[in-house]
Amino acid sequence: MATDRRVGVAVDFSPCSKAALRWALENVVRDGDNLILINVQKEGHYEAGEVQLWETTGSPFIPLTELCNPAIVKKYGVKPDAETLDILNTLAQQKEVIVAMKIYWGDAREKICEAIDNIPLSCLIIGNRGLGKIKRVLLGSVSSHVVNNGSCPVTVVKSVDHES
């Protein structure tokens, strides 16, 4: 029972993004959905090769089965943590959900908004890092930018880990 619904979750493997992923699985993702993990890496200096081809469009979709493959990890420079992989493998076993990751390089605010349009996503769930007011002004809030500029419904999940 596959659907065309593509649920996006922005992940950087921080506690906030794991909270957003858990929230998405408990409240949004249903059987037949496509769960697309969006990861944005800072622009780096990569050797000539495939990664340079994808700097503007993002990587090809990486299926869940390949996310723990050392060659894939090395190729894209992203290493999902064991807890995130466990959450995703459990989901894939319990529900009929197709899980894939797409990696972008550059400014997270802009690349997540591009991903919404280019994939395209039906909705996006993103964690809130819980920056204080001063840091948010200086660094800018990725979640605020995506809420204000994204072209699909965006849910921001606040992580309770950052409350003092």
Q: Containing domain of residue 68, as a range?
A: 6-162
Phi and psi at residue 38, in whole multiples of 5°? -105, 120
Task: Name the DSSP class of 46.
Answer: P
Domain assignment present for 136:
yes
**For every one of its 164 residues, what pLDDT tens digit does the chain have, with 9 covering 90 and above?**
456 899 999 999 988 899 999 999 999 999 999 999 999 988 765 555 566 666 678 899 999 999 888 888 788 888 889 999 999 999 988 888 999 999 998 899 999 999 999 999 999 999 987 555 554 454 458 888 999 999 999 999 987 654 43
Q: How many residues does the chain have?
A: 164
Within a domain: residue 108?
yes
Check: CB of residue 30 under 8 Å from CB of residue 141. no
* Number of domains, the chain: 1
Q: Where are the alpha helices (DSSP H) in the chain?
A: 15-27, 50-54, 70-76, 82-94, 108-118, 133-139, 142-149
For residue 50, being part of any structural domain is answered with yes
For the chain, the 3-state helix, strand and coil shares in percent, each to the nearest 5, are 45, 20, 35
In a domain, 40, yes or no: yes
Distance of alpha carbon 37 from alpha carbon 164, whole angstroms:
29
Instruction: Please report whether residue 1 resides in a domain.
Output: no
Position 112 in a domain? yes
Q: How many CB atoms lie within 10 A of CB 84?
A: 17
**Scanning the structure block, which residue is given the tokens 């002004």?**
137
Percentage, residues of the chain above pLDDT 70: 81
Instruction: Read off φ and ψ for residue 124, nearest 5 degrees.
Output: -135, 140
Q: Are 118 and 90 in contact (CB under 8 A)?
A: no
CATH code of 87's domain: 3.40.50.620
